[in-house]
């Protein structure tokens, strides 16, 4: 039997490339000499797209493919895919939830510890030979002891972070748009009010219009001079210019960031800032976890063609429809 055709939007990990090649005839959009001509050729019959991480799938792209049924995307975040428009077209979008939650939560806790106890600065000090030349690394300005943590986005990853933070002996409260049913931790309908009551924010919000710059000057000021901001969700949630200004002015103490507004570029003033810990979007980046995510990209596609259902559809394109 002939393999179904699939369009791959960009380079993906070997596990995915091998997985889809075993089941599909693959067209590689980013390698096409004339991508427009390839899309026009496939349009009358293409049913599936494998979307590389952070690849834009916009209405214009979706509308060029009238027979499209499924977009299987790498990563749990899908802010670069217009899933609402896909829904209007009857196209199912899938992502890779749950399998990465513990890894990302581990990274968030690492980032929190590095930030509160200046661990990367201390390591730089040691490697530069300053322990020998100048003596002990200075006592850290901040500590985890006595902190209260406000999680911004208590979803799958937020819950995994909350459990870890509590194991460190710190109380956890949260802000979502809606209270989580059956959740005992205190819910703040207002992020600003939560920021006034805590000294540590861990944001694990998705990107997109509803979360853009939610953490800005006002929230940072409410957090206060002992405040620590950790962002492991999407860079667009934090107003980076306001963050740099708050760090410079001592409005907050420090920040730990795994994600940025214009990845892979850093904004002016952040790269050399002494009060930040910066990671290059490595929240889920282990072989173990990326393999689980990649397998889910493949399995969503295979299950769609074999059984007529997706495994992990996003909320905008629920299944059954």
Considering CB distances under 5 to 8 angstroms, the limit depending on partner class, which of ligand 8YV, ligand NAP, none binds residue 53? ligand 8YV
Q: Indicate if 185 belongs to the active site.
A: no
234 is an interface residue for ligand NAP by CB under 6 A: yes
- Which CB sits closer to ligand NAP, 9 or 289? 289
Q: Which of the residues 123, 166, 183, 263 is marked catalytic?
A: 263
What is the length of the chain?
A: 321
The structure tokens listed for 244 are: 């740099």
Site string for ligand 8YV, 40-69 (x = CB under 6 A): -------------x----------------
Element (H, E) at 40: helix 35-42
155 or 227: whose CB is closer to ligand NAP? 155
Using CB under 6 A as the binding rule, whether residue 81 contacts ligand 8YV is answered as no
Respond yes or no on whether the N-terminal peptide bond of residue 264 is cis (omega within 30° of 0).
yes
Q: Which is nearer to ligand NAP, 147 or 234 (CB)?
A: 234
Asked if 121 and 274 touch (Cβ cutoff 8 Å), the reply is yes
Instruction: Note if 234 is an active site residue.
Output: yes
Q: To the nearest whole angstrom, how small is the minimum distance from the Cβ of residue 237 to ligand NAP?
A: 9
118 catalytically annotated? no
Closest CA to 152 of 202, 104, 186, 86: 202
Name which position in 115, 211, 251, 317 contacts ligand NAP (CB under 6 A). 211
Q: Is 283 in the site for ligand 8YV (CB under 6 A)?
A: yes
Beta strands in the chain (DSSP E): 5-8, 25-28, 48-51, 70-73, 92-94, 149-152, 172-175, 200-203, 228-231, 254-257, 276-278
CB burial string 61-84: b at 16+ within 10 A, e below: bbeebeebbbbbbbbbbbbbbbbe
Q: How many CB atoms lie within 10 A of CB 270?
A: 19
Per CB under 6 A, residues contacting ligand NAP are 76-77, 97, 100, 104, 153-158, 176-178, 204-207, 210-211, 232-234, 258-259, 281, 283-284
- Interface residues with ligand 8YV (CB under 6 A) are 53, 74-77, 100, 281, 283-284
Catalytic positions are: 234, 263, 281
């Amino acid at each position: 039997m002939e393999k179904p055709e699939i369009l791959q939007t960009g380079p993906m990990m070997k596990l995915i490339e091998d997985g889809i090649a075993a089941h599909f005839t693959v067209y590689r959009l980013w390698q096409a000499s004339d991508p427009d001509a390839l899309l026009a050729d496939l349009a009358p019959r293409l049913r599936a797209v494998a979307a590389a991480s952070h690849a834009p799938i916009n209405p214009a792209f979706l509308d060029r493919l009238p027979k499209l049924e499924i977009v299987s995307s790498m990563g749990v975040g899908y802010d670069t895919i217009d899933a609402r428009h896909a829904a209007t077209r009857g196209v199912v979008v899938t992502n890779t939830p749950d399998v990465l939650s513990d890894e990302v939560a581990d990274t968030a806790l690492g980032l929190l510890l590095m930030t509160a106890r200046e661990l990367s600065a201390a390591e730089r000090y040691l490697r530069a030979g300053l322990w020998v030349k100048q003596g002990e690394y200075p006592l850290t300005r901040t500590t985890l002891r006595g902190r209260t943590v406000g999680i911004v986005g208590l979803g799958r990853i937020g819950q995994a972070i909350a459990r870890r933070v509590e194991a460190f002996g710190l109380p956890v409260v949260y802000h979502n748009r809606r209270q989580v049913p059956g959740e005992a931790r205190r819910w703040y309908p207002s992020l600003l009010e939560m920021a006034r009551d805590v000294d540590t924010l861990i944001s694990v919000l998705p990107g997109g219009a509803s979360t853009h710059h939610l953490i800005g000057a006002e929230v940072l000021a409410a957090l206060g001079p002992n405040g620590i901001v950790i962002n492991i969700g999407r860079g667009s949630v934090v107003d980076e210019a306001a963050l740099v200004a708050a760090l410079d002015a001592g409005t907050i103490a420090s920040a730990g960031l795994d994600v940025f507004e214009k990845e892979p570029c850093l904004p002016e003033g952040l790269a050399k800032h002494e009060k930040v810990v910066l990671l290059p979007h490595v929240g889920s980046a282990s072989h173990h976890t990326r393999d689980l995510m990649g397998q889910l990209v493949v399995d969503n596609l295979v299950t769609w063609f074999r059984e007529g259902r997706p495994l992990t559809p996003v909320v905008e394109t629920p299944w059954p429809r």
